[in-house]
Amino acid sequence: FETFVEKLTAGQKNKQIKYHVASRSDNSEEAAKQRRFEHNGADVFSIDVPNIGSAQAIAYDYKALKKAIEISKQNQDRHPIFYVLANRIGPFASHFAKKIHALGGDFYLNPDGHE
């Protein structure tokens, strides 16, 4: 995941494209200071996830996608593209697809994982 995002943002050719990347927060005090920052020109936003065991991955994906949709609405993005690496939100995918399509956006899931 990290390598994919690093290469995608570092190699950006079209400056009209704005990347927004979710990052899982470790809920520490230091993380709280960096809720939002820029890396390689991409807007990186932190997502806090409660310590709920293996369900953390699902909670993270759900909250990250919800926040990404909010950001897209706030920015009034035209034709936003949402790309999820690893499909851990299976039961919620159609819910998010409807919201994204209502924005005029496209929704892509990589169902196999982070590769």
34-67: pLDDT as tens digits: 588 999 999 999 999 888 988 898 899 999 999 9
How many separate domains does the chain show?
1
In this prediction the pTM is 0.85
Residue 102's pLDDT band (cuts 50, 70, 90) = very high
Q: Residue 84 is part of a domain; what is its CATH number? A: 3.40.50
115 is a domain residue: no
- At 89 the pLDDT is 84
80 is a domain residue: yes
Sorted by sequence, the CB contacts under 8 Å of residue 65 that are 6+ apart come out as 22, 82, 84, 89, 96
Is pLDDT of 18 > 90? Answer: yes
34 is a domain residue: yes
41 is a domain residue: yes
81 is a domain residue: yes
Q: How far apart are CA 66 and CA 100, in angstroms?
A: 10
In DSSP terms, 85 is beta-bridged to: 110
**Which tops the pLDDT comparison, 37 or 111?**
37
30 is a domain residue: yes
98 is a domain residue: yes
- At 2 the pLDDT is 79
Range of the domain at 100: 2-110
